[in-house]
Amino acid sequence: MIVMAVFLSLSLIGTIKIEPDRVVDEVENFLFKMNEINNFNINVDTFMSDIMDILLSEDCCIIFPRMTIPAIVERGGEICIIGKIPVTTMSIFFQIVTAYDPIPEFFNLTIIDIVALGGDGLIGCTAELPAEAPPELYNLTMIVEETGDTFTAPKAVCVKEKLDGNFTFVHLTDFHIGDPRGLREKPLQTIGWKAARRCVKEINLLNPDFVVITGDLVYGQLYPGEYRREYSKCWEILQEFDVPIYLCPGNHDGYVQMWEDGFKYWRKYFGPLYYSFDYGDAHFVCVNSYNWTDKMRRAFLFISLNWGGYIQEKQLQWIEKDLNLYSNAKLKLVLLHHNPLWDTWYESLMFNSYVGREELLHIIQEKNVDVVLAGHVHYDNVTINNDTLFITTTTASSSLSAPDAYWGYRFITAENYTITSYNYMEPKYSLPSYKIDCVEKDSHSKIITNDLSTDIDVRITFLVESGNYTAENGEIYMTRTKDEQIEVYVNVHVPAKSQVEVRLLPV
């Protein structure tokens, strides 16, 4: 039990006035601490406005980390948590639990420190993860002991054995939940968001260390009230990922459509519009390249004023400051929706150019950014400019914009903090979807199909009766047992153009 004596004396007595400048200082200090511990950088100037709707609508919630801005830490490491609790709370504690596994494991966090970040129940907490928690993706739950109130941030914490320069991640973009344009390509796969869900399923099989999604997660250009439904559905589908995910917005995510502002829903469901995070000593800057003013983001059904890129000076200054702060990073990447190599004047009813594009390119060159990942155009492209690798990846499920384009995603490999692989086929192509599958033959057997022209390594799971097993055509990575059941994780190598049947055999 952790008694928040200082915080609660202020809350219960109610005689201490929290001055606005003091709140800003408290928030800024904790965000700086979060930056030091979890290497997660949010713009202090926009943080409070970003979370204001949450503060007004929620009595108890976790603001950071969450599924779309997770904390990835080594075993036994520390995390920073920002949350809101009822102002009369006397004690809280935190748990992590394996994310929706059939055999869950619970671990209590050790609270190191809790501070009040204002007078509305906003708190900052530093906690230590138990060293015995195995590498896995976890839900984070905050429990108010007096009332029993709980709030769970799904898939918000990922524990790794070690964070180093050898890792893999997937670049996914233009997810387009609610977009009817995919009907032109594959009608049956578009209905029910099947194509987007298929990408999630395949990525889970490939089991990268994390996923980055560079915008256009929803559509927002079809009917009044659309954003409310699409963001809710997108949030639901994203929860199907078994690996951590990070996001940055695109134009379809942020139209001001009728009475709805898409970015209001983005902040509610996903978090800040721009920020940065680290994986070991690799630094990722997530940029909002649809940074138009509210007036210039207006749309009426299919007609929008501007759908090209725009980055305001305030964000450019933050990007430059962020890259200065992480100047010693061993690998630097910028993630955004609109590729800054290309002007987008033709994506505006008023022929407005991509404001901030040239300034961003200057920052990228000056700060020695290694890789830029983008989407938007619905086809693959790879360009090297001033020693920076600019990668654009095709759409997951929408209309295609080039004769050689197809639905897919990009699997990227880093070795010793150097990007060593990013093309499925040369000179630019990403992995096509609907080429990998896993089908259960029976409770002890699964068949993995690989129609790609390259070998793949996948991870699958079985839930079977307790016992000792060996895996035919696979290697058991981990097991989890409860009562009379055991969950078995198996790593499998699948050669190109082949099928592999993996079977659990009792020992």
**pLDDT digits over 5-55, tens only?**
333 322 222 222 333 444 557 888 999 999 999 889 999 888 988 888 888
pLDDT at 90: 72
In the chain, domain spans: 2-160, 167-432, 436-506
Q: What angle do CA 26, 28, 31 make, to 5 degrees?
A: 110
Neighbours of 423 (CB within 10 A): 16
- pLDDT: which is higher, 365 or 87: 365
* Reported confidence tier of residue 91, pLDDT bands at 50, 70, 90: confident
The mean pLDDT of 280-294, rounded to a whole number, is 98
Tell me the CATH class for 436-506.
mainly beta
- Specify the pLDDT at position 309: 98
| CATH class of the domain comprising 2-160 | mainly beta
Q: Which residue has better confidence, 147 or 253?
A: 253
The three-class DSSP label of residue 410 is strand
* Cα dihedral across residues 364, 346, 212, 417: positive or negative: negative
Res. 75 pLDDT band, cuts 50 70 90: very high
pLDDT over threshold 70, residue 256: yes
> Which region among 5-14, 96-105, 337-346, 472-481 has the lowest average model confidence (pLDDT)?
5-14
Residue whose pair of structure tokens reads 């979370």 in the numeric block:
51
On the question of a common fold for 2-160 and 167-432, the answer reads no
249 - beta bridge partners?
none
Given this model, what pLDDT does residue 186 score?
Answer: 93
Pairing label, strands 381-385, 256-257: unpaired
* CA–CA separation, 174 and 393 (whole Å): 9
Q: How far is CA 260 from CA 189, 220, 367, 388, in A?
A: 28, 9, 37, 38
Q: What percent of the chain has pLDDT over 70?
A: 95
Per DSSP (E only), the strands in 307-362 are 331-335
pLDDT given for residue 41 in this prediction: 95
Looking at residues 329-348, what average pLDDT do you find? Answer: 98
Q: Which pLDDT belongs to residue 290?
A: 98
- For 463, phi then psi, to 5°, come to -120, 110
pLDDT on residue 2? 34
| 9-to-12, 13, 490 alpha-carbon distances in Å | 5, 6, 51
pLDDT of residue 148: 81
Cβ-based neighbour number of residue 340 at 10 Å: 26
**What is the predicted pLDDT for the residue at 20?**
40
For the segment(s) 167-432, the CATH number from 3.40.50.2300, 3.40.718.10, 2.40.40.20, 3.60.21.10 is 3.60.21.10
C-alpha torsion sign, points 180, 185, 190, 194: negative
Cα dihedral sign for 414, 154, 142, 287?
A: positive
Provide mean pLDDT across the span 404-430.
Answer: 98
Q: Are 134 and 161 in contact (CB under 8 A)?
A: no
Q: What are phi and psi of 360, to 5 degrees?
A: -65, -40
Model confidence at 270: pLDDT above 80: yes
- State residue 24's pLDDT score: 53
pTM of the shown model: 0.94
Q: Which residue has the higher pLDDT, 357 or 259?
A: 357
